Amino acid sequence: MDIGLIRPYEVEYNNRDIEDLQNAISALGHKAKNIYVDNMGVRINKKGILLSQIISRDKMEPVNVDGAILRHLGFIKDFEQFGSRLWCVSAMEQKGMPVINPLSAWLCASDKLHSFIVLAKHGIPVPETVSTENMFIAYNAVKEYKEAVVKQLRGAMGFGVFRVNDADVAMHIFSYFTNLSKPIYVQKFLEKKGGGDFRIIVVGGQVIGGEFRKGEEWKSNIAQGAAPLPAKLNSELEELAVKTSHALGLEYAGIDIAETKDGYYVLEANPSISWQGFKIATKVNPAEHIVKHLISKIKE
Ligand SMILES: Nc1ncnc2c1ncn2[C@@H]1O[C@H](COP(=O)(O)OP(=O)(O)O)[C@@H](O)[C@H]1O
Ligand SMILES: [Mg+2]
């Protein structure tokens, strides 16, 4: 089978994870194909929908794989560019190529506001959160929470996530956000037991393992210097991770869960995770599980 790895050409994103996927695909006797979403062309004519990608100035190749893994759509600079990339992947799905994570689930889960709306609706515990374009609403949220965390709706790896306890200091930043037309996402700060959180990876509805990411400070992203440690999971944690992944319709996901004195809270569900730290902590290679799961979906 040919298995596509969808990502942008402009940035070779998460190379080692891509390498793990390529190795897992060939170890299972299949062929990995690079699909660069910014090099794709969609042609619509009497024959239907034709997908291709450019490989040199005068050479195109058809995009025709048995299934694909969606990793990243790149750093978006324009709203229509985002649409263009989304609909290229959507065209693959329309042509019957299974994509994991499915585009709509990927899109919803990679947005912190939308995913929390879905999780709250499913009764999954999440920290108190306010999301708004209005700086006064955000200001009042910081006042109410006293200790707050501010995030981007579609950020990752802890970049741009900051902590604030003075609503008037926050107001200066919120007014810049307003000038840039950026929504503001404010969350109540949680005191995490053990100074970190659990990252549990769920593939095809099954937990494949979990690590405890102990932060240097309050953030527990590996990219922010957190240490990936082995973790003992209990059934409550595992069930919460599976329930979260299922609520968001994810075929594979990294679920981040913090333990507090009031119990567990889901901080995030990541639909295109990086797993280099997880491999060290758990000795489990998620790439193998993800590829096997995609192959079973193709065979369905
Ligand atoms: N409400 C919170 N209270 C305490 N720490 C938090 C909270 N939200 C996030 N963090 C910490 O900040 C890190 C980054 O936040 P997260 O929501 O996961 O964004 P990102 O997508 O950038 O990883 C998390 O790993 C977590 O340790
Ligand atoms: Mg995170």
Q: Give the Å distance between the CA of 281 and the centre of ligand 1.
A: 20
Q: pLDDT tens digit string along 71-112?
A: 999 988 899 999 999 999 999 999 999 999 999 999 999 999
Containing structural domain, residue 81:
2-100
Residues 55 and 74 in one domain: yes
Between CA 188 and CA 205 the distance in angstroms is: 29
Number of domains in the chain: 3
Boundary (domain end) residue, out of 188, 207, 238: 188
Please tell me the number of the ligand nearest to residue 152's CA: 1
Q: Is the pLDDT of residue 1 over 60?
A: yes
Residue 143 forms part of a structural domain: yes
Cβ 253 under 6 angstroms from ligand 1 = no
Residue 298 forms part of a structural domain: no
Q: pLDDT tens digit string along 150-181?
A: 999 988 888 999 999 999 999 999 999 999 99
pTM of the model: 0.95
Residues 10 and 95 in one domain: yes
Q: pLDDT tens digit string along 251-299?
A: 999 999 999 999 999 999 999 999 999 999 999 999 999 999 999 999 9
* Residues 81 and 22 sit within 8 Å (Cβ to Cβ): no
Q: Is the pLDDT of residue 236 over 70?
A: yes
Pairing mode, strands 206-214 and 196-203: antiparallel
Residue 101's nearest CA partner among 72, 73, 69, 74 is: 69
Q: Give the Å distance between the CA of 112 and the centre of ligand 1.
A: 11
